[in-house]
């Protein structure tokens, strides 16, 4: 055995990249779970092509999974990776740009044969032509080593090829000093009915680990100690899982049945999949014939006294628009989850974007204000969607919950909340016929009574035609129309009395505050803390509530010389803040289907601070 040394690291970013059929997402997820169990803080970014099985070896068929983990707080999946595992030439070509100078490349040599090189557009093998001089390149014939490990098993070449990702995983486990146990357990469970595959994957995983241990090429092993996270019980969770569970928790705490009407769409479908599992929780999931049926069935369910929910992404919201107007008019609870993706039109289905904010706020005919909330991290989806449900029920209104592909598919360790301490959010169904009027409003919230079919004595009709104040009868009276528009707007405004004030991270006044919303949280947070590490001052306010905005937001912004608004769109929150508070915001925009790198925000902050000093 060769002499091995160990080295301690605070944080590392690894990117697994290969063909979309190479199992990179699975490899990344396994590495993530093991890493979470070791107590590291972490953040992940899956990055896969829109095509389900793109042609092998091509640039557009490359699938990647990045994990950033460490013994310190981790807020983003990492601007650049320190290690790139490239299963073929195309994977190297696509991802080389995100590797730090001096970073490590672990290349599967078989993936750099003539055919693969040609498909990736290389005229010469980059592993041989010294073009990778500034990196540490480790050439490993993963395909061959995998085949060797399985040679006595008489498996088809397809099965052998499919297990090679476990070799790569085993090597990385060795390199970062992680045990193989939890993945072995997973293999045993997953392939319980396919003993051959179970055996093959087990052998290959161990072979990969042993290769790291025995081979000469790896001389250093890296140790990344556990992070100092708040004490408590943790699990790893993706944004879409957290959204599904948040909806379930809300329905339970509201004493209502959860009804999901949904049509499959990337990247929201996983919420439908997740909720479909929980029949024993009484969850009703309905895969509707289209987006419109998804939302209208949910509204029908709400009329019947369920918590009606629909999940989708931008193009689906476009189709649901008319129904959102109806929900505004009939004033029933409805929660609409938009897991945003790159637009317009079909856009970039598997890539992330925050460009549906103005659509959420204004994208309807007529004056139709709807409360809008946005989650800031994968785990935060749980609490934010719970809050969306609470508001929908209490204020008898549709609510839009915004997440995005980055949050939905990304994951992070989550301090499991104490379910018993979560608030009861039950509605009170109207049952007393005495003085009942369908549009008689609560004095404080302005919400109308929720009277469900089946309740004797409260029979009434609702609909999309303008309602007469109090009676809810159809009314074309001009004065009444204006009054109802104002009442509906006032109702949504009053939610501001029911939500927490915005909190500033950092000083309450100064040269610069960064105002963000949604999934830019991690990148802003990292950028801000790096700037503070250099002794400079910068504050951060992050918005969960986009409509209504927290009551103190204007006061907060006025105390700063500069307001920087980084967004994965062309400046939508920025427009809103300018319009509402007349503050000259500075926009930092990026619309590449990718999240911000902390560095990009950091540079902008530096630039502003320099200019204002």
Partner 1 sequence: MSTLVEEAIRANLAPEGKLTAKDFQSDQDVRWCPGCGDYSILAQTQRIMPDLGIPRHTMVFVSGIGCSSRFPYYMNMYGIHGIHGRATAIASGLKMARPDLSVWVVTGDGDGLSIGGNHLIHLLRRNLDIKVLLFNNQIYGLTKGQYSPTSETGKITKSTPYGSIDYPFNPASLALGSSATFVARTMDRDPKHMQTVLKRAAGHQGTSFVEIYQNCNVFNDGAFFPFTEKDSKEDNVVFLEHGKPLIFGKEKDKGIRLNGFTPEVVSLKDGKYSADDLLVHNEHDTTLSFILADMTYKPNLPRPIGIFLALTRPCYEREMQHQIQAAKEKRGDGDMKKLLNSGETWVIN
Helices (H), 52-180: 89-95, 114-120, 142-149, 157-162, 164-175
Q: Closer to partner 1 at the Cβ: 382 or 545?
A: 382
Nearest approach, Cβ of residue 456 and partner 1 (Å): 4
Q: Do 351 and 364 contact (CB within 8 A), yes or no?
A: no
Nearest approach, Cβ of residue 327 and partner 1 (Å): 10
Nearest approach, Cβ of residue 157 and partner 1 (Å): 33
Q: Closer to partner 1 at the Cβ: 250 or 499?
A: 250
Q: Which of 161, 152, 29, 19 has its CA nearest to residue 92?
A: 19
Nearest approach, Cβ of residue 253 and partner 1 (Å): 8
Q: Closer to partner 1 at the Cβ: 10 or 289?
A: 289
Sheet containing strand 560-567, strands side by side: 504-505, 539-543, 510-517, 560-567, 586-589
Distance CA 396, CA 387 (A): 14
CA distances from 141 to 96, 208, 242 (A): 19, 11, 39
Nearest approach, Cβ of residue 227 and partner 1 (Å): 8
For tokens 């969850």, name the residue: 283
- Torsion, Cα 32 34 36 39, to 10 degrees, reads -150
Nearest approach, Cβ of residue 288 and partner 1 (Å): 7
Q: Closer to partner 1 at the Cβ: 426 or 497?
A: 426
Q: Closer to partner 1 at the Cβ: 126 or 438?
A: 438
Q: Closer to partner 1 at the Cβ: 318 or 599?
A: 318
Nearest approach, Cβ of residue 414 and partner 1 (Å): 9
Nearest approach, Cβ of residue 427 and partner 1 (Å): 7
Residue 491 CB-density burial (10 A; 0-12 exposed, 13-18 middle, 19+ buried): buried
Q: Any bridge partners for residue 429, and if so which?
A: 450
* CB contact burial 145-156 (16+ within 10 A = b; e otherwise): bbbebbeeeebe
Q: Any bridge partners for residue 139, and if so which?
A: 107
Residue 276 CB-density burial (10 A; 0-12 exposed, 13-18 middle, 19+ buried): middle
Q: Closer to partner 1 at the Cβ: 316 or 325?
A: 325
Q: Closer to partner 1 at the Cβ: 277 or 483?
A: 277
Contacts 24+ apart (CB under 8 A), 433-437: 433/457, 433/458, 436/460, 437/470, 437/471, 437/472
Nearest approach, Cβ of residue 81 and partner 1 (Å): 25
Diameter over CA atoms, the chain? 89
Tokens of 20: 């979309």
Nearest approach, Cβ of residue 431 and partner 1 (Å): 4
Distance CA 78, CA 84 (A): 13
Q: Closer to partner 1 at the Cβ: 222 or 429?
A: 429
Phi then psi for 401, rounded to 5 degrees? -105, 125
Contacting residues for 496 by C-beta, under 8 A, at least 6 apart: 545, 548, 549, 550, 551
Q: Closer to partner 1 at the Cβ: 173 or 286?
A: 286
Sheet containing strand 136-140, strands side by side: 41-47, 62-70, 11-19, 81-86, 99-108, 136-140
Tokens of 332: 């029933």
What 3-state DSSP class applies to 419? helix
Nearest approach, Cβ of residue 298 and partner 1 (Å): 6
Residue 581 CB-density burial (10 A; 0-12 exposed, 13-18 middle, 19+ buried): middle
Tokens of 159: 């099965």
Q: Closer to partner 1 at the Cβ: 453 or 611?
A: 453
Q: Closer to partner 1 at the Cβ: 1 or 230?
A: 230
Nearest approach, Cβ of residue 613 and partner 1 (Å): 40
Q: Closer to partner 1 at the Cβ: 304 or 571?
A: 304
Nearest approach, Cβ of residue 377 and partner 1 (Å): 17
């Amino acid at each position: 055995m060769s002499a091995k040394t160990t080295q301690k690291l605070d944080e590392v970013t690894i990117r697994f990249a290969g063909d979309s059929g190479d199992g990179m997402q699975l490899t990344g997820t396994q590495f993530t779970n093991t890493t979470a169990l070791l107590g590291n803080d972490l953040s992940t970014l899956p990055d896969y092509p829109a095509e389900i099985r793109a042609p092998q070896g091509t640039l557009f068929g490359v699938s990647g999974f990045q994990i950033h983990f460490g013994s310190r707080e981790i807020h983003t999946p990492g601007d650049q990776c320190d290690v790139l595992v490239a299963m073929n030439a195309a994977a190297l070509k696509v991802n080389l740009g995100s590797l730090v100078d001096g970073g490590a490349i672990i290349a599967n040599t078989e993936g750099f044969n003539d055919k693969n090189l040609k498909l990736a557009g290389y005229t010469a093998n980059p592993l041989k032509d010294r073009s990778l001089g500034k990196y540490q390149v480790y050439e490993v014939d993963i395909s061959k080593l995998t085949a060797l490990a399985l040679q006595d098993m008489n498996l088809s070449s397809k099965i052998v090829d499919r297990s090679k990702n476990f070799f790569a995983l085993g090597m990385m486990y060795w390199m970062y000093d992680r045990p193989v146990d939890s993945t072995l357990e997973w293999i045993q469970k997953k392939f319980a009915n396919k003993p051959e595959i179970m055996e093959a994957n087990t052998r290959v995983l161990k072979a990969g680990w042993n290769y790291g241990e025995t081979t000469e090429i790896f001389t250093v092993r890296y140790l990344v100690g556990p992070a100092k996270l708040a004490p408590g019980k943790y699990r790893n969770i993706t944004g879409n899982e957290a959204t599904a569970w948040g909806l379930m928790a809300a329905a339970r705490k509201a004493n209502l049945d959860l009804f999901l009407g949904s049509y499959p769409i990337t990247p929201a479908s996983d919420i439908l999949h997740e909720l479909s599992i929980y029949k024993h929780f009484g969850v009703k999931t309905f895969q509707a014939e289209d987006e419109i049926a998804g939302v209208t069935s949910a509204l029908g369910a709400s009329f019947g006294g369920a918590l009606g929910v629909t999940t989708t992404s931008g193009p689906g919201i476009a189709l649901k628009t008319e129904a959102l107007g109806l929900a505004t008019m009939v004033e029933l609870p409805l929660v609409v989850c938009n897991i945003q993706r790159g637009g317009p039109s079909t856009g970039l289905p598997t890539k992330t974007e925050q460009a549906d904010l103005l659509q959420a706020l204004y994208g309807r005919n007529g004056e139709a204000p709807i409360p809008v909330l946005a989650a800031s991290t994968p785990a935060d989806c749980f609490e934010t969607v719970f809050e969306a449900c609470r508001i929908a029920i209490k204020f008898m209104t549709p609510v839009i919950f915004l997440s995005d592909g980055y949050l939905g598919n990304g994951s992070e360790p989550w301090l499991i909340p104490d379910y018993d301490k979560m608030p009861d959010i039950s509605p009170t169904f109207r049952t007393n016929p005495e003085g009942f009027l369908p549009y008689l409003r609560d004095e404080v919230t302005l919400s109308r009574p929720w009277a469900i079919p089946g309740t004797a004595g409260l029979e009434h009709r609702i609909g999309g035609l303008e309602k007469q104040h109090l009676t809810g009868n159809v009314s074309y009276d001009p004065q009444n129309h204006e009054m109802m528009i104002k009442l509906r707007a006032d109702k949504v405004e009053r939610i501001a009395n029911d939500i927490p004030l915005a909190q500033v991270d950092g000083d309450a006044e100064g040269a610069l505050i960064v105002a963000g919303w949604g999934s830019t949280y991690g990148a802003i947070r990292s950028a801000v803390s790096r700037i503070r590490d250099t002794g400079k001052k910068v504050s951060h306010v992050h918005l969960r509530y986009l409509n209504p905005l927290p009551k103190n937001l204007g006061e907060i912004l006025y105390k700063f010389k500069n307001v920087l608004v980084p967004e994965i769109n062309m400046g939508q929150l920025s427009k809103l803040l300018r319009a509402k508070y007349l503050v000259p915001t500075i926009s930092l925009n990026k619309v590449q289907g990718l999240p911000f790198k902390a560095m990009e925000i950091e540079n902008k902050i530096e630039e502003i601070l320099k200019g204002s000093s």
